[in-house]
């Protein structure tokens, strides 16, 4: 996978859980097959929606081991290794390096504020240097508390062994600026993926390589259509599909997306008959 470019529809996967917060491996395998069968180009484990930072280490390893076995090489598997320090992130990366995943994913270090851009550049470079796997940089300031500008992200995108970025900053002007700097997909130093589900159409029309979506796990086929329309520069279809996709997401997440968004997504997957239980890690709301 070192020479394989990430593109298209990447589904950030929720983690099916038992009531005791261990992995529900049967539901996990069913969810993986459903996601692949409906057109995902790759799946991302242990991210924000995957509750990666909340799972015990042995459960993280079980999740990745089960995922790699179930995917069986059909599509790339991404595994998130983010932590609050560079050393701990590297430890996480090394623990998964030989698991069979195809890409590692890391945010900036979180919890503490790191206002100097060089802190983030050095953090990602050290992680990339510590593993043989390609690294995807995950820009998620709403969760990490650390915002990065376009210049810093561009420097990270050009680091050795960084294969691309997932931008979930919800800062479309910054994302658009990055795309303007690299209008030719073939000559970009790495893939540029949009993680803000409200602007998938505009991002793809401007030249994003693809999208990374957690909410899209509920509507993979629709997201596949939206991504294909955007990549093909079919403006009207792209807009219409974005409207339909956003409407479906809001029907699940409203009226208070921050209160129990993760439970609501899992509950919808239960309703669709894909997983069996909507349990989430505490202190997420289980109702």
Would you say residue 276 lies in a domain?
no
Domain that holds residue 179: 8-271
Q: What is the largest CA-CA distance in the chain?
A: 48
Mean pLDDT of 40-59: 97
Q: How many domains does the chain have?
A: 1
Q: Is 263 a catalytic residue?
A: no
Question: Quick check: 141 and 147 in contact, CB under 8 A?
Answer: yes
Would you say residue 277 lies in a domain?
no
Instruction: Say if residue 252's pLDDT is above 90.
Output: yes
> What pLDDT does 158 receive?
97
Give the confidence band of 257 by pLDDT, cuts at 50, 70, 90. confident
Would you say residue 3 lies in a domain?
no
Would you say residue 121 lies in a domain?
yes
Write out pLDDT tens, residues 122-141.
Answer: 999 999 999 999 999 999 99
Would you say residue 283 lies in a domain?
no
Would you say residue 137 lies in a domain?
yes
Give the confidence band of 1 by pLDDT, cuts at 50, 70, 90. very low
Candidate from 1-15, 158-172, 215-229 with smallest mean pLDDT = 1-15
Out of 7, 110, 166, 219, which one is annotated catalytic? 166
Would you say residue 69 lies in a domain?
yes
Mean pLDDT of 22-45: 98
Question: Quick check: 282 and 21 in contact, CB under 8 A?
Answer: yes
Q: Is 247 a catalytic residue?
A: no
Would you say residue 284 lies in a domain?
no
CATH code for the domain of 42:
3.20.20.70
Give the confidence band of 3 by pLDDT, cuts at 50, 70, 90. low
Out of 7, 110, 138, 266, which one is annotated catalytic? 138
Write out pLDDT tens, residues 164-205.
Answer: 999 999 999 999 999 999 999 999 999 999 999 999 999 999
């Amino acid at each position: 996978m070192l020479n394989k470019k990430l593109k298209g529809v990447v589904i950030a996967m929720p983690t099916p859980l038992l009531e005791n917060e261990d992995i529900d491996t049967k539901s996990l395998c069913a969810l993986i097959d459903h996601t692949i069968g409906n057109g995902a180009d790759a799946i991302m484990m242990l991210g924000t929606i995957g509750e990666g930072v909340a799972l015990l280490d042995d459960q993280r390893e079980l999740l990745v081991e089960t995922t790699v076995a179930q995917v069986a090489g059909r599509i790339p598997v991404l595994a998130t290794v983010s932590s609050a320090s560079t050393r701990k992130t590297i430890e996480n990366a090394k623990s998964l390096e030989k698991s069979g995943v195809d890409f590692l994913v890391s945010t900036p270090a979180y919890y503490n504020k790191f206002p100097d851009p060089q802190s983030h550049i050095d953090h990602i470079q050290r992680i990339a240097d510590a593993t043989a796997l390609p690294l995807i940089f995950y820009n998620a300031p709403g969760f990490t508390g650390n915002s990065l500008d376009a210049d810093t992200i561009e420097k990270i995108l050009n680091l050795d062994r960084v294969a691309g970025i997932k931008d979930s900053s919800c800062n479309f002007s910054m994302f658009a600026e990055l795309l303007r700097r690299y209008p030719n997909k073939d000559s970009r130093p790495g893939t540029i993926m949009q993680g803000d589900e409200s602007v998938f159409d505009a991002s793809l029309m401007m030249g994003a390589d693809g999208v990374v979506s957690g909410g899209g796990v509920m509507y993979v086929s629709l997201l596949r259509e939206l991504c294909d329309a955007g990549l093909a520069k079919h403006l009207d279809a792209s807009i219409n599909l974005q409207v339909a996709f956003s409407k479906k997401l809001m029907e699940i997440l409203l009226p208070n997306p921050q209160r129990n968004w993760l439970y609501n997504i899992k509950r919808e997957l239960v309703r669709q008959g894909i997983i069996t239980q909507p349990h989430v890690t505490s202190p997420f709301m289980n109702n």
